[in-house]
Amino acid sequence: MDSATIIFAEGEENTTTSILHFINKLEKDTRFSVIHASNCNKILENLKSNRPDFILYDLDTSSNQENDLFNHISTQNDLKDVHLIFVSQQKNIHDKIKQFDQLTQRITQLEEVCTVDPLTNLYNRRYLEERIEKEISRSHRRGFPISCLMIDVDNFKSINDTYGHQTGDIVLMKIALILMDSCRTADVICRYGGEEFTVVLPETDTTGALMTAERIREKVENEVFSINGVDFSISVSIGVSSKTANQPINKQILIELADKSLYKAKRSGKNRVMIYED
């Protein structure tokens, strides 16, 4: 097996004997490559030229820079798979652990703000771009099909013009609920922008994608929207694209074909599901 790279921050003061003994064992093991760094700044310098598998940080030091290190690793996409391990023989490290928990919560909240649409609570386009690439890669690797739906609310401008933008927002929120109710947990539902939504369907062929799309279309068509004492109905047009198990494709093509299918549905009279065919 290839060796695993470990950056060890031994601290600016004394590191406990047992930890040094453990590091010494790792250095003698050909499966590991150990890089020593005296503090957090040295770790950050090493990260510019090395991508370690693990960072081992001794909490029994007075450098007190763990938050900076943790924040840097957590916010860099190319370092998110690096395992950050803290070691200590202190009996009272609860305060530091509490600080890390609070920092983790803040980072999680920031990530949610960056990837979630605030109106519908669905994922946003930024998240879609990252996730669809991973799902396509997994599809290639495991030999599964994958499909994509592009969904557009028909005549949405007239809803805003007739009932107001607040009503339009409520419609979008209700559409989001219908999508969540119509899809599986594994499906990736996003607000693509404006009145458009995208659903990525892992391990789903053309037949399954068309069935899901038709289920969504029917639920929206049969839903009575009661807002501010006014009842009205709406419809959606849906474009479908699919990748077979062994078909090479990338995210741009998968989305583009679903988008072309959507425009085909629009041109064909709206309130329908279409798949693009040359």
Q: Which residues are catalytic?
A: 195
Q: 68 and 42 in contact (C-beta within 8 Å)? A: no
3-state secondary structure the chain: CCCEEEEEECCCCCCCHHHHHHHHHHHHCCCEEEEEECCHHHHHHHHCCCCCCEEEEECCCCCCCHHHHHHHHHHCHHHCCCEEEEECCCCCCHHHHHHHHHHHHHHHHHHHHHHECCCCCCECHHHHHHHHHHHHHHHHHHCCCEEEEEEEECCHHHHHHHHCHHHHHHHHHHHHHHHHHHCCCCCEEEEEECCEEEEEEECCCHHHHHHHHHHHHHHHHHCCEEECCEEECCCEEEEEEEECCCCCCCHHHHHHHHHHHHHHHHHCCCCCEEECCC
